[in-house]
Amino acid sequence: MSGDDPIAAFRVEAGELLDQVEQGLLDLTHRLDDIDLVNAVFRGLHTLKGSGAMFGFDALAGFTHHCETAFDRVRKGQVPATPALVGVILSAQDHMRGLVEGTARQSDGDAILAELQQAVDAASGGSVTASVATPTTTAATQASAASASGWHVRFRLPPDAMANGTNPLMLLDELRELGDCTIVAHTDGVPPLSDLVPTHCYIGWDVTLKGDIRRDDIEDVFIFVMDDMELSIEPLVADGAVEAIVEAIEAPVVEVAAPVPQAANDAARTPAKAEESVRVPAGRLDALMDRVGELVIAQSRLSQLAHHGHDLTLRSVSEEIERLAGELRDTMMVLRMVPVASLFGRFRRLIHDLARDTGKNIALVTEGEATEVDKTVIERLFDPMVHLVRNSCDHGLESAEQRIAAGKPEAGTVRLGAHQSGGEVVITIRDDGRGIDRARVRAKAEANGLIQPDQLLSDQELLQLIFAPGFSTAAQITNLSGRGVGMDVVKRTIEGLRGTIDIASVDGQGSTISLRIPLTLAIIDGLLVRVGNSRYVIPLTAVEECLELSLEDDMRHRGRSLITLREKLVPFLRLRELFATGTRPDPYQKIVVVATTQGRVGLVVDQIIGNHQTVIKPMSPLHRSASTFAGATIMGDGEVALILDIAQLVASAQPTEESLRAAG
């Protein structure tokens, strides 16, 4: 997004505004009588309409005006908020998003407006309208109907209105546009010059508006400031007298204080600043991250040169640059981190729509929303999580009748949780449904030729079969699931993030799917090892411990590749043989024990060099088929070291290890 492109800036702001409106509507579905939520949604629609007209999105402004008008009737108590009405506004919000992006169709908007009119008519035809309308609203409605001659408006803005961006002259201009307007300013609250604060507003106004003007149009002028201002609107009767109906709008009266001592004025001139934020395009952050990565590589080379030489001054400068590069790297990592609340919040609408489509009563519960993850990880997690949540709602949760028969609450629950574990974040999708039918999974896998009828599988291996391409246990295909094209995409995406998937399920109690994802995809801490003449990086988050393997122990274990570690057998892989280095083993090899979804596995290497901060570089298109490597990094001496993908390495090494044992 270009910083000087107003249309692009509007689209970004409109997207955020629509997200706020959507969240307000979703909250409103659970609290239909919450007037604060009604007001918040109305203001969001009002802002979108005005901004759209300002930037030339006339179709958006016109469509939003109809939705705003309908919701204004709810705000004034003339029509009650109903689930049907809120649902139509949600659909309208989707159409508004399409109008902003330029993908909406006119016919869709016409259909939504027709549904909106039906929902408003159905709501207003009920008996609730009279009970919802307050005495103030009723009086205002009567006054609006009785006053064809005009209105008398008195208003005074809060002292800090101009400092907060409100321009009183623009408000007066909007009132002039409504009709024949006479304005009188009241300056009695202006203090002496020595006590005057330039940014404060001390003036009040009396405005007489003549003509056939609706009270709603006057209130709309002050919609963004009426929470903190003093405002009264009185209808004029035919003979010019003022009718005794005064309304204070939604806020306590703000009184203009008398002149205060100079010290207080000094404090007022220097108010405490709120923390400021700056919008930065994501591409610039990515470019900055690349530069920081190159700086870390250059610093590593400098450090290596300094420690091999005898120049103490160079070594001192190298250590200082290393400290600064580390601080810059940490700051850059924080800039890229965003809370998972931004991810979890997007599923509220999905759950709302799934409940409507499936006819089930579904509640969404989120935990650990403050957990932070790299923004790139957040973006790539959304699609796989959509598949998992849809599966939980469609396959996992039972219908209300089935849940009641099983002694469960009528409403099913989907829980999204997040917590940090070392250098990883664990995202969980948990439901309290029927659980995974293992017999059906096995039967389907055998029918598809994924496993043999007599093949022995662990429980985790059996559950992992649901991620096979084309696999589905659904009895029938629906618009939600059943075609078997979702879960394999989930597995590929998570593995592309260097993550793993764990599944736990209890019959009749529900299932839990845990996604273990690195906190960042740019820079990781790794363990640098040597195998033959080449160096490799093992992600430090997977490393549990390191052991020594002498040549005698290596010969003793040859043929079974198992060691006893604290009375438990741990299999190990000889990387020298897997990578066909063609070199002889070192006299004292090392075993790096790593954690995988199948348990602990040892990796036999020739030498452990030490910890290494790794800037991940993607593999070239020619080498991307080598799935055992997650990427590459440039060492301080300019050479390249490959980064091991532990999960893929263990999975691909199993048949190789078996063939090596058979050959031996």
Distance between CA 225 and CA 47 in Å, rounded? 13
Closest CA to 218 of 254, 249, 251, 184: 249
Angle at which helix 375-391 crosses helix 487-496, to 10 degrees, equals: 160
Instruction: Please give the helix or strand (H or E) that residue 656 lies within, else none.
Output: helix 646-663
Distance between CA 160 and CA 347 in Å, rounded? 39
The Cα diameter of the chain in Å comes to 113
Q: Give the pairing type, strands 230-235 and 534-539.
A: unpaired
What ranges in 105-227 are assigned the alpha helix state H? 106-124, 128-132, 135-146, 168-176, 215-221
pLDDT given for residue 417 in this prediction: 93
Given a contact cutoff of 8 angstroms between Cβ atoms, the answer to whether 541 and 518 are in contact is yes
pLDDT given for residue 477 in this prediction: 47
pTM of the shown model = 0.61
Q: Which residues of the chain have pLDDT under 50?
A: 1-3, 126-148, 238-274, 477, 479, 482-485, 655-664
Given a contact cutoff of 8 angstroms between Cβ atoms, the answer to whether 559 and 661 are in contact is yes
Distance between CA 604 and CA 591 in Å, rounded? 4
pLDDT given for residue 115 in this prediction: 87
Decide: helix, strand or coil at residue 270. coil
pLDDT given for residue 464 in this prediction: 85
499-503: Cβ within 8 A, 24+ apart:
499/424, 500/596, 500/597, 500/647, 501/464, 501/467, 501/597, 502/460, 502/597, 503/436, 503/460, 503/463, 503/464, 503/466
pLDDT given for residue 273 in this prediction: 46
Dump pLDDT digits (tens) for 60-75: 888 888 888 888 888 8
596-599: Cβ within 8 A, 24+ apart:
596/500, 596/542, 596/646, 596/647, 596/650, 597/460, 597/464, 597/500, 597/501, 597/502, 597/647, 598/458, 598/460, 598/461, 598/650, 599/570
Closest CA to 354 of 362, 346, 365: 362
For 478-492, b where at least 16 C-beta lie within 10 A, e where not — what string? eebbbebebbbebbe
Distance between CA 408 and CA 562 in Å, rounded? 47
Dump pLDDT digits (tens) for 330-352: 788 778 788 888 889 888 888 98
